[in-house]
Amino acid sequence: MAPNFYSIFLITILLQAFSNINVTAQALFPAILVFGDSAVDTGNNNFINTIISPNRADHPPYGRDFPSHKPNGRFSNGKLVPDFLADTLGLKESVPPFLDPHLSDKDLITGVCFGSAGSGFDDLTSKTTKAIPMSKQVEYFKKYIERVTRIVGEKRAKEIIRKAIVVINSGINDFVINYYDLPTKRLQYDINEYQDFVLQRLQSFVEEVHELGCRTIIVTGLPPIGCLPIQMTARFKLPNERKCLEDQNSDAMLYNQKLKKLIPHAQASLPGTRILYADVYTPFSDLVKNPEENGFKVTDRGCCGTGYIETGSLCNILTPTCKNATEFVFWDSAHPTEAAYQYVHDSLLEELGPQIINDPKFSVS
């Protein structure tokens, strides 16, 4: 089934499911709120003082296939999953970064992104990369609530936050930066212990956004980290023998299993809250294993430069790029293309849509 058709199909089901109480997609979720790392950062790092940061994507060729065709801070050639999701929900075509000084009232009340490329659940990760730590993202969220309250009043602001769909996507940098590529945490924890540490931080983060009023929270798992081109390069894989690193992939799968187990407990301790696990591992793994089935051709390197190492400041205006990024799963050595994100969005919708519809506890009132 064509992906676009499927999203339309699902949103139609969603709308039909609620048509008897006469709500629109907007009423279903009045806003989208996004926390996390470079997979969801829509441009916050453009506005923080990170000298010449490797964690900025505000230069060409980033953003070349975005509607504006301009670099905007997204670590991709075009849109990210939250942008596609906001569009599917009928909210807006893309999710603006909270730190953008030119946000309109409408931008604010329909939701923003607090994510920051390079951040992780472990504060040490963000310290290393000079990103906005998750703890600081929560502080920005408090400021956001104040601003929305000033625009629509306290009652409506509370309602927006309560009904908003929250997306939390973080964790990969904790493993890639802190654990695999730098030995910082490896000296202190084995992988099992470090996973538990990261998951503990994740749970506290969910509790904090719950405390601030959020009730529908999507938490994503890890993708197959060992299939990132940069991870293969770090293991000195030669171009003709590049294969996903099975050890890092099985670590990611174990983390995901633990996260899936954690969610019902977290949900039980937060009454009235829905926490949904979003499996991003499977769709990414499908793309890498069966690229042709889904219209892709290249999976083991990015579109930017050689595709083996370039990301952030190394992928720049002087770097040659592939012609057609829709054939590539990866845009740079560490980040997917818009086409891959579109595929993941469609898969998440397929997975989560029915859960949203069939949850008897979920009421739109």
Ligand X SMILES: *[C@@H]1O[C@H](CO)[C@@H](O)[C@H](O)[C@H]1NC(C)=O
The residues binding ligand X (CB under 6 A) are 295, 324, 326-327
Closest approach of Cβ 147 to ligand X, in Å?
41
Taking the least distance from each CB to ligand X, the nearer of 252 and 329 is 329
In contact, 112 and 102? CB cutoff 8 Å? no
Taking the least distance from each CB to ligand X, the nearer of 101 and 320 is 320
Task: Point out the residue whose Cβ comes nearest to ligand X.
Answer: 324
Closest approach of Cβ 339 to ligand X, in Å?
8
Q: Would you mind telling me the total number of residues written for the chain in this entry?
A: 365
**Mind giving me the DSSP string for 160-214?**
HHHH-EEEEE--HHIIIIIIIIS-TTTTT--HHHHHHHHHHHHHHHHHHHHHTT-
Taking the least distance from each CB to ligand X, the nearer of 36 and 336 is 336
Is position 250 annotated as part of the catalytic site? no
Catalytic residue among 41, 122, 251, 332: 332
Closest approach of Cβ 292 to ligand X, in Å?
9
The residue written with tokens 């699902």 in the block is: 10
In contact, 96 and 111? CB cutoff 8 Å? no
Beta-carbon contacts of 220 under 8 Å, excluding residues fewer than 6 positions away, are: 36, 167, 168, 169, 277, 278, 280
Taking the least distance from each CB to ligand X, the nearer of 177 and 322 is 322
Instruction: Using CB atoms within 10 Å of the CB of residue 211, give its burial: 0 to 12 exposed, 13 to 18 middle, 19+ buried.
Output: exposed
Is position 332 annotated as part of the catalytic site? yes
Catalytic residue among 7, 38, 285, 333: 38
Taking the least distance from each CB to ligand X, the nearer of 290 and 324 is 324
Task: Count other Cβ atoms within 10 Å, centred on residue 358.
Answer: 9
Question: Tokens for 62?
Answer: 């980033």
Name which of 44, 230, 208 is nearest 130 in CA terms. 44
Is position 300 annotated as part of the catalytic site? no
Catalytic residue among 335, 345, 346, 347: 335
Closest approach of Cβ 295 to ligand X, in Å?
5
Closest approach of Cβ 2 to ligand X, in Å?
13
The residues carrying an active-site annotation are 38, 332, 335
